Amino acid sequence: MELPTKILIGEGVIEKLGSFVEETSSSRKILVVSGKNVREALRDRVESSIPRMKWIEVTEPDIKNVEIVVRESRDAGSVVGIGGGKSVDVAKLAASFVGLRFYSVPTSASHDGIASPFASLRGTSRPYSEKAKPPYGILADVEIIASAPRRLLASGCGDLVSKLTAVKDWQLARDEKGEYYGNYAASLALMSASVVLSSKNLQPYSIGTVRDIVEALISAGVAAGIAGSSRPCSGSEHLFSHYLELIAPGKGLHGEKCGIGTIMMAKLHGLDWEKVKESLARFGAPVSARQIGITDEQVVESLLNASSVRPERYTILSKVKLTRETAYELAHSTEVI
């Protein structure tokens, strides 16, 4: 198991970033990796908190940017990734390549990459995540995350509910293919999903709820670390999302597509898909394809071809083998199309 060692969550904790990442035994500089906007927004607070630091701006979540960070990290002591997703993933993979400690500082809660050992990059040989190392430390300032656009938090809720069908797919692979299944990792992932699924009495955007969502996303990443694979966090709903990204790049956020996928996969699994839909809607997450600019045909195509993204991953889609008619019926009956 590879797990994060230090986690700090709270309001205004960005002020403590320096002491959080500073290694008393090391005089090496700390590499801070972020996008341009985050740098502009947090520059003063981060620079005054970390005296020996070098800032690198990420332009794209691709291998070229990872290589830039790798080159700059030769005389660094550790790497800090600050941002919504791409900077954290670029920094995570670069730190893993050079064997440096990596600190994750999310500025939004749109997916579970905050704490997981996986990084999603463009321009790799496959459309799903690369295995890296989990962050050594995670510092999540709830105040910063709560002030990010609400769409990002709603997307995080989509990534959280997807653990429901991911765990069901994992159980299916255990029962039908004899695949290793970790009960504890599965339970932890399901608990993350329950933050959204049992949210009836929560104030969707209160600071307390934002904190719950951040903690749930971190727990989901930890569940993947315990399992040693993305199984507890990523099943048929993620394959659906990955295929959509291939045929309709840039339409919808990762968590938004996963949430919509979960509604349909929950129905295939015989779960309470209406509850999934209601929970997503409560947080303002999209529950239909047209809300994220996806056509009916693209949904049907993705349902039919999702398994091809990762043929070795056994899920409900491998078992059920949808036809064009049954795929359409599934999407239509759940009002995704």
Minimum distance from CB of 225 to Zn ion (Å)?
A: 14
Using Cβ positions, the residue closest to Zn ion within the complex turns out to be 159
39-47, 89-97, 141-149, 152-160 -> range binding Zn ion (CB under 5 A): 152-160
Minimum CB distance to Zn ion smaller for 72 or for 159? 159
Q: Are strands 101-106 and 137-141 parallel, antiparallel or unpaired?
A: parallel
Minimum CB distance to Zn ion smaller for 32 or for 197? 197
Cα–Cα distance, 224 to 161 (Å, whole number): 15
Minimum CB distance to Zn ion smaller for 159 or for 169? 159
Q: Count of CB atoms within 10 A of residue 321's CB?
A: 9
Here the tokens at position 266 are: 């929950």
Minimum CB distance to Zn ion smaller for 159 or for 301? 159
Minimum distance from CB of 236 to Zn ion (Å)?
A: 13
32-40, 157-165, 183-191, 271-279 -> range binding Zn ion (CB under 5 A): 157-165
131 CB-contact burial (10 Å; exposed 0-12 / middle 13-18 / buried 19+): middle
| Helix (H) / strand (E) containing 107 | none
> Residue 89 interacts with Zn ion (CB under 5 A)?
no
Minimum distance from CB of 235 to Zn ion (Å)?
A: 10
What does the DSSP assignment read for 243-311?
HHHHHSTTSS-HHHHHHHHHHHHHHHTTS-HHHHHHHHHHTT---SGGGGT--HHHHHHHHHHGGGGST
Handedness of CA 241, 195, 286, 265 (dihedral sign): positive
| Among 205, 230, 326, 336, residue whose Cα is nearest residue 276 | 336
Minimum distance from CB of 216 to Zn ion (Å)?
A: 13
20-28, 50-58, 151-159, 303-311 -> range binding Zn ion (CB under 5 A): 151-159
- Segment 233 to 292, residues that bind Zn ion, using CB under 5 A: none
Minimum CB distance to Zn ion smaller for 32 or for 216? 216
Minimum distance from CB of 166 to Zn ion (Å)?
A: 9
Minimum distance from CB of 289 to Zn ion (Å)?
A: 18
Minimum CB distance to Zn ion smaller for 32 or for 213? 213
Give whole-number Cα distances, 161 to 151, 181, 196, in Å: 16, 20, 7
Q: Are strands 118-119 and 130-131 parallel, antiparallel or unpaired?
A: antiparallel
Instruction: Name the CA dihedral angle for 31, 95, 141, 197, rounded to a multiple of 10 degrees.
Output: 160
54-62, 94-102, 159-167, 168-176 -> range binding Zn ion (CB under 5 A): 159-167
Minimum CB distance to Zn ion smaller for 141 or for 159? 159
64-72, 84-92, 153-161, 183-191 -> range binding Zn ion (CB under 5 A): 153-161
Minimum distance from CB of 233 to Zn ion (Å)?
A: 6
Q: Residues in contact with Zn ion, total (CB under 5 A)?
A: 1
Minimum CB distance to Zn ion smaller for 30 or for 258? 258
Residue 130, phi then psi, degrees to nearest 5: -90, 145
Please say whether the beta carbons of 170 and 231 come within 8 A.
yes
Minimum distance from CB of 116 to Zn ion (Å)?
A: 8
> Residue 159 interacts with Zn ion (CB under 5 A)?
yes
What does the DSSP assignment read for 130-177?
EE----SEEEEEHHHHHTS-HHHHHHHHHHHHHHHHHHHHHHHHHHHH
Minimum distance from CB of 296 to Zn ion (Å)?
A: 24
Residues that bind Zn ion (CB under 5 A): 159
